[in-house]
Amino acid sequence: MLHEMLVRLATEYVYERGKNFAGSEFGKFVRHDIAIEAKKRLIFLPYDLKVKASVGAGNWAAVPWLGFFDPLITESATRGFYVVYLINAQSQEIHLSMNQGTTAAYQSFGEKEGRNYLKRNATEMAARIRSFADQFSTAPIDLGSDDSLPLGYMAGHAFGRKYDANKVDKDQFYTDLETMLAAYEMLVDLGGTTPGDVMMEEADSNDVVESREYVLSRRIERAPNVRLPVLKKRGAVCEGCNLDPQQHYNFQGPLKNTPLEIHHIKPLSGMAEGETRRYKIPEDFLVLCPTCHRVIHKQTDPSNLEQLRLRLNFRH
């Protein structure tokens, strides 16, 4: 079971990292077996998440981890925010954490100011979903390393739970994981780390809820695992005005770069609370040119393609 595998990781890592990294069976156990077991835990949960486990790239990491990533936000531990188990192998502790991408923060601000940025974000993340954060601890975590990345993980920690690998409460462990994943999806739905005024400006609205729904919808539309499949299945022609980039712009580039946008038509406001499987491809999307996309978002019903077409005084 997953908790037993993480216990093994926490208790054996110091010994195993003394061996060669290349071809390590222990490394394979973490990257493959632990990741597969974690994916099994998601089968009956309403979340579309990517899972990855790591002991380092090319060399043993100071802190191995197992992460859960929402593709709307990120698919790696380098950017965005995500749920992760971080291992302090020195003290044999397992930390469940709502955390953030250290690498992106370092690249944008440098290491010292990047950690300050991560700390500020962590405080704001906990405040945005306070009802969840209060079920965990917001105290700082100690990962037993002064290396650059672990210091970033510690700065990026918003809230979580620490487990002693030698006495993990199985029921508490899995209850915490489900609660943390629910918190993660709630944070995504509420705009993540994007400030409220920024969301309202982007949505051109003074309504907080409406702005959050708009920002979430745009994230869905821009997600890499959405855009290309929708273009392939619905075709690369505007469904509003029939603009065809190949014909009208002589566009010759790859499909993913075509100058068209994806529009999410499933009303987020109509979803039940806690519903997180947000879309079906291609049924819940339209392919529109930038102009038609802006216009349809101004409609009372932004899913009504016929209304958009009736408003047009031209067709390509």
Looking up tokens 């930390």 gives 95
For 1-26, the pLDDT digits (tens) are 999 999 999 999 999 999 999 989 99
**What CA–CA distance (Å, rounded) separates 313 from 301?**
20
The yes-or-no verdict on residue 275 having pLDDT over 60 is no
CA–CA distance from 92 to each of 15, 142, 284 (Å)?
12, 11, 46
Q: Cα(116)–Cα(108) distance, rounded to whole angstroms?
A: 12
Look at residue 164 in the predicted model and tell me its pLDDT: 96
Residue-wise pLDDT tens digits, 94-108: 999 999 999 999 999
Mean pLDDT over 106-117 rounds to 96
247-264 tens-digit pLDDT: 999 999 999 899 999 998
- pLDDT, average across residues 262-267: 83
Count Cβ atoms within 10 A of the Cβ of residue 281 and give its class: 0-12 exposed, 13-18 middle, 19 or more buried. middle
| Whole-number pLDDT of residue 269 | 55
Please give the Cα distance from 3 to 176 (Å, whole number). Answer: 12
- Do residues 305 and 240 make contact, with C-beta atoms less than 8 angstroms apart? yes
Cα angle, residue 53 at apex, residues 175 and 155 outer, rounded to 5°: 75
Q: What is the pLDDT of residues 58-81, one digit of tens each?
A: 999 999 999 999 988 999 999 999
Residue 212 confidence (pLDDT): 66
Q: Which two tokens stand for residue 246?
A: 């190949």
pLDDT at 200 over 80: no
Bridge-based pairing state of the strands 159-164 and 261-264: unpaired
Q: Residue 197's pLDDT is what?
A: 64
Phi, psi of 76 (to 5 degrees): -150, 165
Q: Which residue has the tokens 């049924």?
A: 283
Asked whether the predicted pLDDT for residue 127 surpasses 60, the reply is yes
CB 76 within 8 A of CB 52: yes
Q: What tens digit of pLDDT does each residue of 153-181 get?
A: 999 999 999 999 999 999 999 999 999 99
Q: Average pLDDT of the chain?
A: 89
Residue 277 has pLDDT above 90, yes or no: no
Query: Tokens standing for 182?
Result: 């629910």
Tell me the two tokens of residue 292: 């038609």
| pLDDT at residue 220, rounded to an integer | 76
What six digits make up the tokens of 24?
């390590």
Q: Taking 50 as the threshold, does the pLDDT of residue 219 lie above it?
A: yes
% of the chain surpassing 90 pLDDT = 71
Over 50: is that where the pLDDT of 272 sits? no
Torsion of CA 34, 38, 40, 43, to 10 degrees: -160
More confident residue, 100 or 198: 100
Q: What is the pTM of this model?
A: 0.78
Beta bridge partners of 164: 93
**What is the pLDDT, as a whole number, of residue 76?**
92
pLDDT category, 273, cuts 50, 70, 90?
Answer: very low
Tokens of 55: 């002991």
**Listed range (81-95, 196-210, 267-281) with the worst mean pLDDT:** 267-281
User: Mind spelling out the 3-state secondary structure of the chain?
Assistant: CHHHHHHHHHHHHHHHCCCCCCCCHHHHHHHHHHHHHHHHHHCCCCCCCEEEEECCCCCCCCCCEEEEECCCCCCCCCCCEEEEEEEECCCCEEEEEEEECHHHHHHHHCHHHHHHHHHHHHHHHHHHCHHHHCCCECCCCCCCCCCHHHHHHHHHCCEEEEEECCCCCHHHHHHHHHHHHHHHHHHHHCCCCCCHHHHHHHHCCCCHHHHHHHHHHHHHHHCHHHHHHHHHHHCCCCCCCCCCHHHHCCCCCCHHHCCCEEEECCCHHHCCCCCCCCCCCCCCEEEECHHHHHHHHCCCCCCCHHHHHHHCCCCC
Q: Supply the pLDDT for residue 205.
A: 64
Kindly indicate the confidence band of residue 217, based on its pLDDT and cuts at 50, 70 and 90. Answer: confident
Least confident stretch, 50-64, 216-230, 297-311: 216-230
In the chain, domain spans: 2-189, 221-311
Largest CA distance in the chain: 72
- pLDDT tier at 207 (50, 70, 90 boundaries)? low
> Does 198 or 188 have the greater pLDDT score?
188
- Hey, which CATH number is domain 2-189, 1.10.3470, 2.30.170, 3.40.30, 3.30.920? 3.30.920
